Structure 1
Amino acid sequence: MSAPTAPFDPTRVAHLGGRFAPVTEEVDAVDLEVTGSLPRALDGVYLRNGPNPRFTPIGSYLYPLDGDGMVHGVWLSEGRARYRNRFVRTPAMRAEERAGHALWGGLESLITPDADEVGEDLAHSFKPLPDINVVRHAGRLLALAESDCPFKLGPDLDTLGRETFGDRLPAGITAHPKTDPVTGEMAVFCYALEPPYLTWSLLGPDGGVRRGPTAVPGADEPQMIHDMALTERYLVLVLAPAYFDLDAALSGGSLLAWRPERGTRVALIPRDGGPVRWATDEAFWVWHTVNAYDDPAGGGQVVLDYVQWPSLSLGDGDDGGSGGAGRATATAHHGLTRAVLDPAAGTVRRTQLDDSRVEFPRVDDRTLSRPHRWLAVAADSGRGLDLLPGEFDALRWYDVGGSGTSTRRWSAGDLSVGEPVFAPVPGATDAGHGYWLTFATDRTDGSSRLLILDAEDPTQGPVAQIRIPVRVPLGLHGAWLPTEE
């Protein structure tokens, strides 16, 4: 096993303790305790994935990228709820379970096991980390990693194996694919440390690969890109100046270098395979997009809503609680932002919608790639609490469908909340008819629950709280999956 360059003390990593502390027990529970009234219209499962090391990490731990995947599920039907959680069991995790301890170090340590520890197939390999998101497409339930192959899960969250899409996408995809709700087509991208540094692909509604990995001209160095957006015409990728530096990492430095002098570029990639258009701007970082759409006013422009940060930082630093994004200074442009992209002129025109500390933005997924009215975020209530990066104590909703932006707020009190996910009422077509779901953890006793808020007036707080039998670590991304007919 290769050796770390410096001692690592996991007890000093904030994201391995408190509300983020990993859990190791896999639990099944039925007839969960419900406070309030569980909407009988909800029939399906809410799933959420997130970093959850199976064993005490060695070498390093870089939140939010490191950590094994654990998917938590709450099934709702006929006013009742049941819960199950399962690790995403990659071959590397199974090898560590046989050994009884961690064998791979975190991303920054580059510790890998030898053949005598894990066999020739896994020796000196990078550990898969499908710990960021979970989606369903064409009947496949996928736990997603940051630019790697996802792992397919069974209906009860058991790991079925690596998904390569019939060997058409052997390098994998990133953690935030986008599905066009009208065509059923799923758009994906993948970045790499070697050429081609950035590729994109399209999957049909049947799950087949319609367009295999296609290199993006102009992406000439390895850069980190976490999320994407989709319109009727384009894939939208924001290339911030976060560059991978393997030489620095091998000599004990940072794996990622922030180079603001390079600026931020936005790639507008035609879904029909036409020439890629670029728009350029000063440097900023984007963890998560809200949505994008072709401007209905015409002119060929693209509207992109997203959460903007002035720079990228990772780990436990005093960095704004954005799930890794840098803390905004008093003069930096940050927060919820709308950009109008002009493919012909190559320009970006940005408008700040809110400068509050927010993250994990979501819309009704039925509006993806088309104009949306409502969006929701996890937010800071402004009470000055000592919250870690990626931790929030409020939810906010923005109505961006009119001439201005209006905001609704709900403070979660003693609860730390995560990403809000929309669950529509079956048969309803408006985003106001449904419910917002999120996991929450009580900061006073560590207990967790699933919150259900009525979208018609979420400021009234949860109409139902479902008690989870184990603590759910604060995590990343999830999905509401209605029961398939």
Structure 2
Amino acid sequence: MTAIEEELPQHLTGNWAPVQDERTITDLVVTGTIPPELDGRYLRNGANPITGQSDHPFLGDGMIHGVRLRDGDAEWYRNRYVQTPFVADPDREVIDMAASLTDMASSKANTSIFGHAGKILALEEGHFPYVLDGNLDTVGPTDYDGRLTGPFTAHPKICPDTGEMLAFGYSMMEPYLTYLRVSADGTLEQVENITVGGPTMMHDFNVTRNHAIFMDLPAVFDLELAMKGEMPIRWSDDYAARLGVMPRTGNDSQVTWYDIDPCYVFHPMNAYEDGAKIVIDVARLSHIWRDGPMDFPEPALHRWTIDTDSGKVTDDQIDDTPAEFPRVADANVGIKHRYGYMMANAAAKAFEEPLTANGSILKYDLESGAQSNIDVGKGRLPGESSFVPRADAVNEDDGYLMTYVFDANTESSEFAIYDAATMDNEPVATVALPRVPFGFHGNWVPAAVAD
């Protein structure tokens, strides 16, 4: 570690260090065979401060890293900043109370990326979505023809049956929570304010075939911290933890609230209905930010079961392996899943001993209880994996897992495609890339969705 790195916070060192150059590479080296049915883009978003500095891992500027696949070839790799006001003016105040409440285009657009209704959307939960074109150039923010007036989550859910995009927004001012429903053709059809106990950070939510489920948890806005320009959220032992269940096309009066033990969840795996029960698999943390803005306990996979007849919720720990970024196949969003995938949480090793870290991708068979994993190798760390079905897939896990893998041995990265059914350590194919910093969330966007 250099003297300069020692002066930097951990989230700006190693493979968290930002890259400033925007590159387009078309002469890509492929090892193995890219399945010819893969026609689209693998895109991943993350915080990449344009100044090289940020006060917290969540505050960097959004940069999209993408690989275009077609006819068994990797046509290009591109990385592009989302052109937000912060990129145009790097001196702009990041935590600005006035702008946060009045300028919904004042986004970092740094958390996730989705394809829906012919558009590629770069998302961050405090502001409007940003639209990108197929080459990852920024079109601009969207307010859905004026219907969206507040924040839009970084974690919408796209219904595999209807094509609807279900979403929400939270705010430090009333209304604290708003439910949003976007039709398959991209029309914002429903905007519904939901009554909650106060201003909390609701990073994600859940949907089933017939319900939306809100996670009202004790990560509460602190106005005094916000006025100081600090991360404005802290844990509260006095705020009740609850799950709110509402019909997917319902309204505030139809929400039923269920008490749960205090905890925090950034990311659920999936939710589904089982008769009178609603099952939700989540990466559960005991708390967040009790002792400061870098207080992140290790998450692990838990299952909540809501009994809508009795009004009780059970919480069962499925595994004690520290893991995050849970995913299922997109075709199973909101319906019963057998398989789920997570990234083994090797963050501490990645910070302290990257050359000895062994990153892995976990697979859970939630019917048999079996667990398997892809070991990506010593000194190598994967990001969140996206599942893409094989052509003419028969089984739920008949497909591929896609992610970026960082290799600390060579200070470079690769785009890797693994077999989700066999979980073989040997990739189906890899594409050699320059260093891709660790980021947040990625998705496969088929050409048919946004091209």
User: What TM-score comes out, normalization by structure 2 length?
Assistant: 0.90
Q: How does 1:287-306 map to 2 (within 5 A)?
A: 287-295=266-274, 298=275, 300-306=276-282
Cα 1:178–1:190 change in 2 (3 A) is: same
Aligned equivalent of 1:398: 364
Q: 2-side partners of 1:208 and 1:248: how far apart?
A: 37
Instruction: Kindly provide the amino acid, as one letter, of the partner of residue 394 in structure 1.
Output: S
Whether contact under 8 Å (2:15, 2:437) holds in the other structure is yes
Q: Is the 8 A contact 2:151 2:170 kept in 1?
A: no
What corresponds to 2:83 in structure 1? 89
Q: Partner of 2:318: helix, strand, or coil?
A: strand
Which of 13, 20, 25 lines up with 2:16 in the alignment? 20
CA distance in 1, matches of 2:392, 2:7: 49
Q: Is the 8 A contact 1:143 1:151 kept in 2?
A: yes
Contact 1:47 1:71 in 2 (8 A): yes
- Alpha-carbon separation, structure 2, partners of 1:250 and 1:10: 29
Tell me the alpha carbon deviations over residues 16-37 of structure 1, each in whole angstroms, 9 at most, x when there is no partner. 1211111111111114111222
1:224 aligns with 201
Structure-2 change in CA distance of 1:92 and 1:231 (3 Å): same
- Provide the C-alpha distance between the structure 2 equivalents of 1:437 and 1:248, rounded to a whole number of angstroms: 39
1:138 corresponds in structure 2 to 117
What displacement does 1:262 show? Answer: 2.5
1:452 Cα deviation (Å)?
0.7
What SS is found at the alignment partner of 1:441?
A: strand
Query: What CA distance in whole angstroms lies between the structure 1 residues aligned with 2:250 and 2:175?
Result: 17
Q: Counterparts of 1:405-424 in structure 2 under 5 Å?
A: 405-413=369-377, 414-424=379-389
In structure 2, what is the equivalent of residue 327 of structure 1? 297
Q: 2:36 aligns with which of 40, 46, 51?
A: 40
Partner of 1:29: 25
Q: Does structure 1 retain, via aligned residues, the 8 Å contact 2:121–2:132?
A: yes
| Cα 1:208–1:478 shift into 2, 3 Å | same
Distance 1:90 1:378 in 2: 29
1:204 paired residue among 167, 171, 183: 183
Native 8 Å contact 2:241 2:263 kept in 1: yes
After superposition, the CA RMSD in angstroms is 2.8
SS at structure 2 position matched to 1:385: helix
Determine if the alignment matches structure 1 residue 434 to structure 2 residue 399. Answer: yes
Greater Cα shift, 202-211 or 254-263: 254-263
Contact map agreement 2:104 2:128 (CA 8 A) in 1? no
Q: Is the 8 A contact 1:177 1:189 kept in 2?
A: yes
User: Conserved in 2, the CA contact under 8 Å of 1:149 and 1:163?
Assistant: yes
Deviation, structure 1 residue 361: 0.8
Q: Distance in 1 between matches of 2:263 and 2:185?
A: 37
Aligned residues: 438
1:303-314 aligned at under 5 Å gives the runs: 303-313=279-289
* Distance in 2 between residues matched to 1:136 and 1:472, nearest whole Å: 21
Question: CA shift at 1:344, angstroms?
Answer: 4.4
In structure 2, the partner of 1:322 is none
- Whether the 8 Å CA contact 1:277–1:344 is kept in 2: the answer is no
Secondary structure of the residue aligned to 1:243 is strand
User: Contact conserved, 1:104 with 1:112, CA < 8 A, in 2?
Assistant: no
The one of 415, 423, 426 equivalent to 1:450 is 415
Offset of 1:410 from its aligned partner? 1.9
SS of structure 2 residue aligned to 1:93: helix
Q: Does 1:104 align with 2:92?
A: yes
Give the match for residue 303 of structure 2.
338
Q: 1:407 to 1:244 in 2, by over 3 A?
A: same
CA distance in 2, matches of 1:385, 1:234: 39
Query: 2:44, 2:117 → 1: CA distance?
Result: 19
Q: 442, 446, 451: which is aligned to 1:482?
A: 446
Equivalent of residue 78 in structure 1, options 40, 58, 71? 71
**Separation (CA, whole Å) in 2 of partners of 1:21 and 1:112:** 30
Shift of 1:385: 3.3
CA distance in 2, matches of 1:389, 1:149: 38
Other-structure match for 1:266: 243
Aligned residues of 2:339 and 2:396 also touching (Cα < 8 A): yes
Report the AA paired with residue 67 of structure 1. Answer: G
Residue pair 2:358, 2:375 contacting (<8 A) in 1 also: no
| Residue matched to 1:164 | 143
Distance 1:287 1:392 in 2: 24
Deviation at 1:316? 9.8
| CA deviation after TM superposition for structure 1 residue 453, in Å | 0.3
- Deviation of the 1:342 alpha carbon: 2.6
Matched-pair identity in %: 34
| Counterpart contact for 1:303–1:340, Cα < 8 Å | yes
Q: CA deviation at 1:256?
A: 1.1
- Unaligned 5+ runs, structure 1: 1-8, 97-101, 114-121, 320-325, 329-333
- Partners of 2:179 and 2:77 lie apart in 1 by 36
CA distance in 2, matches of 1:362, 1:378: 9
Distance 1:380 1:172 in 2: 29
Instruction: Give the SS at the match of 1:196.
Output: coil
Q: Determine if contact 2:231/2:293 at 8 Å carries over to the other structure.
A: no
Are residues 111 and 13 of structure 1, via their aligned partners in 2, closer, same or farther at CA, if it must alter by over 3 Å? farther
Aligned equivalents of 1:10 and 1:216: distance in 2? 46
Tell me how far apart the structure 2 counterparts of residues 318 and 145 of structure 1 sit (CA, whole Å).
19
User: Offset of 1:104 from its aligned partner?
Assistant: 2.6
| CA displacement, residues 213-254 of structure 1 (integer Å, 9 cap, x when unaligned) | x1112x131100111111011111211100001123325765
- Equivalent residue number for residue 323 of structure 1: none
Query: How far did 1:445 drift?
Result: 2.4
Q: Residue type matched to 1:397 in 2? A: K
In the alignment, residue 212 of structure 2 is paired with which amino acid?
A: L
Contact kept? 1:278, 1:343, Cα under 8 Å: no
Does residue 214 of structure 2 align to residue 246 of structure 1? no
Query: Is the partner of 1:222 in helix, strand or coil?
Result: coil
1:140 Cα deviation after fit: 1.2
Q: Partners in 2 of 1:135 and 1:416 — Cα distance?
A: 23
**Cross-structure match for 1:129:** 108
**1:111–1:225 Cα change, 3 Å:** closer
Further displaced range: 343-352 or 148-157: 343-352
Question: 1:311 & 1:144 partners in 2: Cα distance?
Answer: 25
1:62 maps to 2:56: yes
The amino acid across from 2:385 in the alignment is P
2:337 to 369, 372, 384: 372
